Amino acid sequence: MNKNIEITKRFGTCSKDCYGSCVFVGEWNDQAHEKKLIKTIPLETHPLTNGFFCPKFNYREELLYHPNRLKSPLIRTDSKGTNLFKQISLESALNLTIEKLNYAITQFGSSSIVAAYYAGNCGLISKLSPIRFFDELGATIRTGGICNEAGNYALSQMFGTYSTTNPFQIINPNNRLIVIWGSNLSDRNNHAYFLVKQAIKGGSRVVVVNPIKTNLAKNATLHLQSLPGTDYLVAKYVINKILEAEKLDRDFLTQYVDNFGEIFDKVRNFNKEQILLHTGLTEGELDNFTELLLEHKHKTLFIVGFGPQKYFYGGKNLNTIALIQILLGNFGKPGTGFLFSQSGFNHTYSDLLIQYITQQKKEPQRNSFPLATLGSSLNSNKYKMLFIYNLNPASSLPNQTILRKALLRRDLFVVVLDMFLNETTKYADLVIPVKFDLECDDFITPYFTPGISINQGGPCPYSDCLSSYEFFRLLANRCKWIDKNLFQETQRELYEKCIDLLPKEIQQKLKLNGYYIPFGLNDIPYQNLNFPTFNGKIQIHSSLLDLFDSNPDLLSPRGQNEFYLLSPAHKYFIHSQMGEIHHEFEDDFKKVFLNPSDIDYINLKVNDEVLVSNEFSNGKYILDQNTALKSGIALIYSGFPFANAPIKNVNFFTSDKPEESELSGAYFSTKITISKI
């Protein structure tokens, strides 16, 4: 390296929708013509980043300056459904957007304009500042999401929060048993995986509950390979056995739990044969699990992934799993608890930032619909203009047939903000090139690491690339909202104002380290067992336990050649991102995987071309085997990250009926039939 290069160091946080939220130092050469970010060094001092990234994203500078990165606005030159565009100036793109906005507002009203966004960039400013623009317009704004929102809601009904313990309990010496339920840590959360391996070295045992034999399941003390969506039945069995053995923690229940008697009534209706049939587990496996839990009472931690709540009744799945820990009194003690999402610990300060960033009123009166229903909602002709940012709906949202039909509407003008052409830009009329996360000042409030961290934006070499805030600020200027104090600040000024809103201690930590974590390694959340409910006690409502009485239709018997469909993200991709730097795995998305015994049973062979079908769609795939899958389950990877490939992404087979709270998607409540072509 040239010794005369002046290096500027900036803190950064990976803003991808990922458990990691890795914090690092970026080394920049601000004077370079193009490749200004030289390298990123993951922080060794950060107790969860622990000095390493994931294999998905070791070299983010490759993506930042990738030749395919969009550098100019693009306007469609062919019909929708293709990525055929021509470049236009930023000025023309802004003028056209304003023209279309004015037309939509005058002809159809401002609610005909829709904002669809998610967490493709988790930065608070990136994700939420455009709400200033859309609220001022009176536009329709999506609600909910597609990830963990159902679980957050369900757990909050019990605990008043969805964050009840922190990840440091994994390595607390008091822990003896870690139950990893519905989470593939080695593929999706490599920092928690690292901690669990440390805990195993320290003597903790591991139970895995997952339809897939994950890396940790291979060497676990016990692997319960239950059928998808039957988590509540596993929980019901275990709870019944705990009651039968009279090993519940009565003191804990009496002091800290309201209405716990409801549980006894609900689990009394217990049909062992039905549970074994539906879960696909043996009595021995379930009894072993119960014994391990009883042996390690007050020393057990549950790590629960987002998978169990991706069903129509997903939130209740989580509630029933949590009941096991409640009955055993496994809260507030070192090395115990229920680890799901951490962002609930941040509300005292993140709410201040969000309020300022969005400038939203306390009870905003808006038109809205759930994000998971974008397709069916847009099929209504009342919507005429759609803005999509931080989201690749033509890959990530369910029921692609309905969604794409809506996006193809000629009378729907679609503006997409993105870094690369992708499946969604095929439906855009106008594409705006955006900045990478590291090129913008921003805040990240992670969901596995409690706390907050920052991106100190470095320079972007492409003059037409904008952050989402900058794009909507330019539009606001053209709307002449001069007298409205909405977009007067630059993004840097907005960021600095937000820093000023934070408590001094957090400001100092962010300046010094790039991150703030509200816990030390030995801090135990809710050690006083005073939860943020109306009376401080854990709340058990009978409605949360409804599942114990009902038989959701997913459990209807499978037909001939029919399989439960799981669609996890691929190890080297984050939902629909990373296609540019991991092309070597493209073929994995063209396959449907089954257990070898199922392939034999339906008289097919590996590499056969097969037709995958269900009530939503059909499409060709290549059949492959995966011994990690339980018999009866098919797997197609989600987050198809390549535009223009000749396959249908898995979300052609998923339902857009959201989870019952309507806050997130029910991606795993689906079955497919596989037949030879």
Angle between helix axes 468-478 and 130-137 (nearest 10 degrees) is 30
Say if residue 603 is exposed, middle or buried (CB neighbours under 10 Å; 0-12, 13-18, 19+): exposed
> Which one of the spans 19-27, 356-364, 372-380, 467-475 is the region binding ligand SF4 (CB under 6 A)?
19-27
Residue placing its CB nearer to ligand SF4 in the complex, 185 or 374: 185
Distance CA 677, CA 666 (A): 29
> Which one of the spans 50-58, 162-170, 287-295, 633-641 is the region binding ligand SF4 (CB under 6 A)?
50-58
Nearest approach in angstroms of CB 50 to ligand SF4 is 11
Q: Is the Cβ–Cβ distance between 475 and 389 less than 8 Å?
A: no
Answer yes or no whether residue 160 interacts with ligand SF4 by CB under 6 A: no
Nearest approach in angstroms of CB 18 to ligand SF4 is 3
| Residue from the set 10, 11, 12, 22 that interacts with ligand SF4 by CB under 6 A | 22
Residue placing its CB nearer to ligand SF4 in the complex, 187 or 285: 187
Closest CA to 350 of 510, 524, 203: 510
| Residue from the set 10, 37, 43, 53 that interacts with ligand SF4 by CB under 6 A | 53
Nearest approach in angstroms of CB 418 to ligand SF4 is 18
Helix (H/G/I), strand (E/B), else coil: 356: helix
Residue placing its CB nearer to ligand SF4 in the complex, 63 or 257: 63
Answer yes or no whether residue 20 interacts with ligand SF4 by CB under 6 A: yes
Q: Is the Cβ–Cβ distance between 107 and 383 less than 8 Å?
A: no
Place of tokens 């059928």: 227
Distance CA 544, CA 383 (A): 36
| Residue from the set 54, 357, 486, 602 that interacts with ligand SF4 by CB under 6 A | 54
Residue placing its CB nearer to ligand SF4 in the complex, 118 or 616: 118
Nearest approach in angstroms of CB 187 to ligand SF4 is 11
> Which one of the spans 12-20, 152-160, 197-205, 545-553 is the region binding ligand SF4 (CB under 6 A)?
12-20
Answer yes or no whether residue 195 interacts with ligand SF4 by CB under 6 A: no
Nearest approach in angstroms of CB 410 to ligand SF4 is 37
Answer yes or no whether residue 18 interacts with ligand SF4 by CB under 6 A: yes
Residue placing its CB nearer to ligand SF4 in the complex, 37 or 494: 37
Distance CA 402, CA 397 (A): 10
Longest dimension (CA), the chain: 76
Residue placing its CB nearer to ligand SF4 in the complex, 54 or 643: 54
Lookup: tokens for 100: 């279309």
DSSP annotation of 523 reads -
Residue placing its CB nearer to ligand SF4 in the complex, 180 or 612: 180
Answer yes or no whether residue 297 interacts with ligand SF4 by CB under 6 A: no
Residue placing its CB nearer to ligand SF4 in the complex, 190 or 290: 190
Total residues in contact with ligand SF4, by rule CB under 6 A: 12
| Residue from the set 12, 21, 455, 564 that interacts with ligand SF4 by CB under 6 A | 21
Beta bridge partners of 142: 369
Pairing state between β 140-143 and 671-676:
unpaired
Length of the chain: 677
Helix or strand run (H / E) with residue 469: helix 468-478
Q: Restricting to residues 565-604, which ones interact with ligand SF4 according to CB under 6 A? A: 574
Answer yes or no whether residue 56 interacts with ligand SF4 by CB under 6 A: yes
Give the CA distances from residue 579 to residues 69, 139, 226, 639, in Å, rounded to whole numbers and listed in that order. 12, 32, 32, 10
Helix (H/G/I), strand (E/B), else coil: 594: strand
Residue placing its CB nearer to ligand SF4 in the complex, 190 or 317: 190
Residue placing its CB nearer to ligand SF4 in the complex, 22 or 238: 22
> Which one of the spans 49-57, 387-395, 463-471, 579-587 is the region binding ligand SF4 (CB under 6 A)?
49-57
Residue placing its CB nearer to ligand SF4 in the complex, 16 or 333: 16
Residue placing its CB nearer to ligand SF4 in the complex, 18 or 479: 18
| Residue from the set 14, 208, 438, 623 that interacts with ligand SF4 by CB under 6 A | 14
Nearest approach in angstroms of CB 49 to ligand SF4 is 7
Contact string 605-624 vs ligand SF4 (x = CB under 6 A): --------------------
- How many helices and strands in the chain, by DSSP H and E? 22, 27
Answer yes or no whether residue 57 interacts with ligand SF4 by CB under 6 A: yes
CA 599 to chain centre: 31
Q: Restricting to residues 222-261, which ones interact with ligand SF4 according to CB under 6 A? A: none
Give the CA distances from residue 155 to residues 293, 533, 534, 539, 615, in Å, rounded to whole numbers and listed in that order. 21, 11, 15, 10, 32
Residue placing its CB nearer to ligand SF4 in the complex, 118 or 331: 118
Nearest approach in angstroms of CB 644 to ligand SF4 is 25
Q: Going by C-beta distance under 8 Å and a sequence separation of 6 or more, which residues neighbour residue 249? A: 297, 298, 327, 328, 329
> Which one of the spans 17-25, 171-179, 332-340, 430-438 is the region binding ligand SF4 (CB under 6 A)?
17-25
DSSP annotation of 485 reads T
Nearest approach in angstroms of CB 53 to ligand SF4 is 4
Q: Is the Cβ–Cβ distance between 393 and 116 less than 8 Å?
A: yes
Distance CA 67, CA 51 (A): 29
Nearest approach in angstroms of CB 13 to ligand SF4 is 8
Distance CA 13, CA 454 (A): 6
Handedness of CA 428, 430, 436, 440 (dihedral sign): negative
Lookup: tokens for 359: 């400038």
Nearest approach in angstroms of CB 42 to ligand SF4 is 7
Nearest approach in angstroms of CB 643 to ligand SF4 is 21
Contact string 533-572 vs ligand SF4 (x = CB under 6 A): ----------------------------------------
Helix (H/G/I), strand (E/B), else coil: 378: helix
> Which one of the spans 15-23, 411-419, 491-499, 612-620 is the region binding ligand SF4 (CB under 6 A)?
15-23
Q: How would you label 275-302 residue by residue, b for 16+ Cβ within 10 Å and e otherwise?
A: bbebbbbeeebbeebbebbeebbbbbbb
Say if residue 551 is exposed, middle or buried (CB neighbours under 10 Å; 0-12, 13-18, 19+): exposed
DSSP 13-47: E--SSSS---EEEEEE-TTSSS--EEEEEE-SSST
Residue placing its CB nearer to ligand SF4 in the complex, 13 or 422: 13
Tell me the residue type at 319. N
Residue ranges that bind ligand SF4, judged by CB under 6 A: 14, 16, 18, 20-22, 53-54, 56-57, 190, 574
